[in-house]
Structure 1
Amino acid sequence: MAKQYDVIVIGGGPAGTALASGLKAQGKSVLIVESDLWGGTCPNRGCDPKKILLSAVEAKQAATNFQGHGLSGVPTIDWPNLMTTKRGYTDGINDGTLSGLKSQAIDTLHGQAYFRADGELTVDGNLVTGTDIVIATGQRPAILPIPGHEYFKTSTDFLDLDQMPKRVTFVGGGYVGFELATIARAAGAEVHLIHHNDRPLKNFDPELVKALMANLTDQGVTFDLNVDLKQITQAADGLHLTAHDDFELTTDLVVCSAGRIPNADHLGLENVGVTYDRHGIQVNDHLQTAADHIYAIGDVSDTPVPKLTPLAGYEARYLVGELVETGAPISYPVTPTQVYASPKLAEVGVTAAQVATDTTKYRVTTLDMTKWFTYYRLQIPQALAKVVVDQQTGLIVGASCLSEIADEMINYLTILIEKKLSLAAIQKLIVAYPTPASDLQYLY
């Protein structure tokens, strides 16, 4: 007879491992199942390795900015050496994650989870039983279904390239396309980014997106907008990409960066009445699916928040409490999102576009901070921001930033918004000067 667990977690990524650890600490018996790499996308083939590669890009950009301002000579990116550095981190994630789970006496199984027609859960055909089941299987890159789609590579492939090809093309203007295009260009590739309309990064402020694209264009990235790719063919001189209006481009590597899709289509969910679509598995405000005792968290779930690793952990911590003792519906904190391009683009809270029709309630301040001391001392060529203030309270409720330190600034702004800190409260704080934090009082 199969062992009965309190909770079975499907997915050994950031959401699943955080949940399993939290439940084990509460005295629950837990089984966690993973069909691929332990640790999930983020540390193995997502945000962590991407940031390692981007760190070299940032160092090169900082040196470039200081040419003629105290530094001479711009370093070049040694791609094989950088990839060795990346693998020095990622190569240990799978075994390290598994070891960590076992050290907590959490049972593990490597295999494919599937709900049979009778509703029972199996792993590679073997029955497993649990009182509650949590799906935390994440997402995977989408592949456009066009002729020649077999020539597409994904972000996973790009982040593990042994050599940087001479010509690289990205198809899809979301954050992945922008970030990987930034890395490829800095590493010396001839880079094109193809997008099907004229509004890439559609969830970000259009003026700041336009400024970001101008910066990347200056760095040598070519944007091919309003191009709906129709076909990929292979020839002796490379991959030929064709579209309408006689568009044709020859490249050595084509990466599909047209979004991600939930890993929900291989679990037999239809056999247990769990519904999902391209946005993820439908859950209520307790992260419960349509089926009793089956939950979904992290990137695979359809929740009203961005698909981000910190939110996966946040949902895991919530569900630990929920499975121990049912409580209040989940309530999400204000959440920043960012594009790690060059410069970086970040936003949090209410956006300028959302309040454009309600100028009586909100005030939007557009700031060009390029000549502020923080950016002058770093020789950052452009620093822009839009700040949304509630007219009645005087509190900042939203912001968008574009600069090479936008990711740092957006974290400060997130704290201001979440903790409802007024200008008077900020002015009562003494922070280190001169730092980006010492600029906060000038944003209200």
Structure 2
Amino acid sequence: MSKQYDVIVIGGGPAGTAMASGLKAQGKSALIVESDLWGGTCPNRGCDPKKILLSAVEAKQAATNYQGHGLAGVPAIDWPALMTTKRGYTDGINDGTLGGLKSQQIDTLHGQAYFRADGELTVDGDVVTGTDVVIATGQRPNILPIDGHEYFKTSTDFLDLDAMPKRVTFVGGGYVGFELATIARAAGAEVHLIHHNDRPLKNFDPELVKALMANLTAQGITFDLNVDLKQITKTADGLHLTDDHDFALTTDLVICSAGRLPNDDQLGLENVGVAYGRHGIKVNDHLQTANAHIYAIGDVSDTPVPKLTPLAGYEARYLTGELVKSGAPISYPVTPTQVYASPKLAEVGVTTAQAATEPDKYRVTSLDMTKWFTYYRLQTRQALAKVVVESQTGLIVGASCLSEIADEMINYLTLLIQKQISLAEMQKLVVAYPTPASDLQYLY
């Protein structure tokens, strides 16, 4: 006879582990199931290892900026040593996450969960039952279905390369492609980024994207725009990439960075009346699927917010409370998104495109901050921002930043927007000077 749980959580990543821990703290009996690595994508093969590699890129860029301004000599990236540093972190994630769950006395199973019937799942043959089920299975890299697609590697492969090939090509101009291309180029590779139209990073301000691309081009990255790749052929001198026209490129490694797919197609959702599609599992504003006892959170859910680790945790905290006592629909805070390239590109709140459709409601200020003291002291090549202000209130409601500290600035701006801090209130604060925070009053 199978063991009965209050809640079964499918997926041992940031969303699932936060969910299981929250339920346990509320006195619920919970089982968490994982088919791959405990800890999920972010710490094993996503944001955390990527940021470790990027930290070396940032250090190299900072030294480059200061050539002739107080530093002599640019350090080279030692890829094997950097990879050892990365693995020093990632190698402990699986066991550490599993150990943390067990220390909380949360039941775990490793294997593929599959809905056999309502409230009943199999996990590689073991039958488990639960009153409610929370799906938090995340996403995986998409592989374009072109001729020779078997030669594609993914971001997972790139983040665990033993050596950096001489020539690396990325297919897909989203944030993953830009970030990994930045790393590969800084590590010495000849880098191409192929995109099917002329508008990569389509969700970001086009002028700032253009400026980012100009910076990356100056660093040696080649952008091949309006190229609809059709075939990869293995030849004696490498991998030969072609389209239906006159594009041809030979490379040593080709990474498919053309988006990600929700892990919702191996769960047997059709057996329990759960609807899902290209953007994930359909949920309502209580994160509930068409089946009243099944919920979906994190990257696998079809929600109107970016697929980000902090939002996965936010949804887990909401749903933990919801399963204990049903309440209000989920309400999302303003959420920043960013591209960890060089320089970094970040955005939060009302976009410049949205503001342009309502010119009476919003005003957009474009700022070139390159000569501001904050960026002069860093010898930053370029620092740009666009700030969206609500005309009636004078409050900042959106912002886009391009600089080497854009990730820091966007967090400050997120706080100003979420807490509705006016310029007058900002000027009542005394912050350390000179710092990026001391620039905030000049952005209104």
Shorter-chain TM-score range: over 0.9
Give the Cα separation in 2 of the matches to 1:122 and 1:290.
21
Give the Cα separation in 2 of the matches to 1:47 and 1:355.
30
The letter for the 2-side match of 1:186 is: A
Kindly state the Cα deviation for residue 117 of structure 1 after the two structures are TM-superposed: 5.8
Give the Cα separation in 2 of the matches to 1:357 and 1:7.
45
Kindly state the Cα deviation for residue 126 of structure 1 after the two structures are TM-superposed: 1.5
2:62 corresponds to which residue?
62
Summarize the alignment of residues 22-33 of structure 1 with structure 2, pairs less than 5 Å apart: 22-33=22-33
Give the Cα separation in 2 of the matches to 1:264 and 1:290.
14
Give the Cα separation in 2 of the matches to 1:120 and 1:415.
43
CA contact (8 A) 1:119 1:271 kept: no
Aligned pair 1:47/2:44, yes or no? no
Give the Cα separation in 2 of the matches to 1:358 and 1:19.
40
Aligned pair 1:299/2:264, yes or no? no
Give the Cα separation in 2 of the matches to 1:378 and 1:239.
40
Aligned pair 1:432/2:409, yes or no? no
Give the Cα separation in 2 of the matches to 1:120 and 1:4.
9
Give the Cα separation in 1 of the matches to 2:76 and 2:154.
25
The letter for the 1-side match of 2:80 is: P
> What is the percentage of aligned positions where both structures have the same residue?
88
Kindly state the Cα deviation for residue 357 of structure 1 after the two structures are TM-superposed: 2.6
Range 117-126 or range 5-14, more displaced = 117-126
1:325 corresponds to which residue?
325
1:112 corresponds to which residue?
112
1:404 corresponds to which residue?
404
CA contact (8 A) 2:348 2:398 kept: yes
The letter for the 2-side match of 1:273 is: G
The letter for the 1-side match of 2:190 is: E
CA contact (8 A) 2:119 2:129 kept: no
2:97 corresponds to which residue?
97
Alignment deviations for residues 67-101 of structure 1 (CA, whole Å, 9 cap, x no partner):
00000000000000000000000000000000000
Structure 1 spans left out of the alignment, 5+ residues: none
Give the Cα separation in 1 of the matches to 2:41 and 2:200.
24
CA contact (8 A) 2:139 2:261 kept: yes
1:80 corresponds to which residue?
80
Q: 1:117 to 1:104 in 2, by over 3 A?
A: closer
CA contact (8 A) 1:39 1:93 kept: yes
Kindly state the Cα deviation for residue 245 of structure 1 after the two structures are TM-superposed: 2.0
The letter for the 2-side match of 1:109 is: L
1:179 corresponds to which residue?
179
Relative to the length of structure 2, the TM-score reads 0.99
CA contact (8 A) 2:2 2:127 kept: yes
Summarize the alignment of residues 32-431 of structure 1 with structure 2, pairs less than 5 Å apart: 32-116=32-116, 120-431=120-431
Give the Cα separation in 2 of the matches to 1:311 and 1:25.
20
Q: 1:62 to 1:118 in 2, by over 3 A?
A: closer
The secondary structure found in structure 1 opposite 2:354 is coil
CA contact (8 A) 1:345 1:403 kept: yes
The letter for the 1-side match of 2:38 is: W
Give the Cα separation in 2 of the matches to 1:156 and 1:288.
30
The letter for the 1-side match of 2:217 is: T
Kindly state the Cα deviation for residue 375 of structure 1 after the two structures are TM-superposed: 0.2
The secondary structure found in structure 2 opposite 1:306 is coil
Structure 2 spans left out of the alignment, 5+ residues: none
Kindly state the Cα deviation for residue 34 of structure 1 after the two structures are TM-superposed: 0.2
The letter for the 1-side match of 2:310 is: P
The letter for the 1-side match of 2:289 is: T
Alignment deviations for residues 268-311 of structure 1 (CA, whole Å, 9 cap, x no partner):
00111101111000000000000121000000000000000000
Size of the aligned set, in residue pairs, is 444
Kindly state the Cα deviation for residue 3 of structure 1 after the two structures are TM-superposed: 1.1
The secondary structure found in structure 1 opposite 2:176 is helix
Give the Cα separation in 2 of the matches to 1:288 and 1:332.
16
Deviation >4 Å, runs of 4+: none
The secondary structure found in structure 2 opposite 1:328 is coil
The secondary structure found in structure 1 opposite 2:355 is coil
Alignment deviations for residues 174-208 of structure 1 (CA, whole Å, 9 cap, x no partner):
00000000000000000000000000000000000
Give the Cα separation in 2 of the matches to 1:175 and 1:337.
10
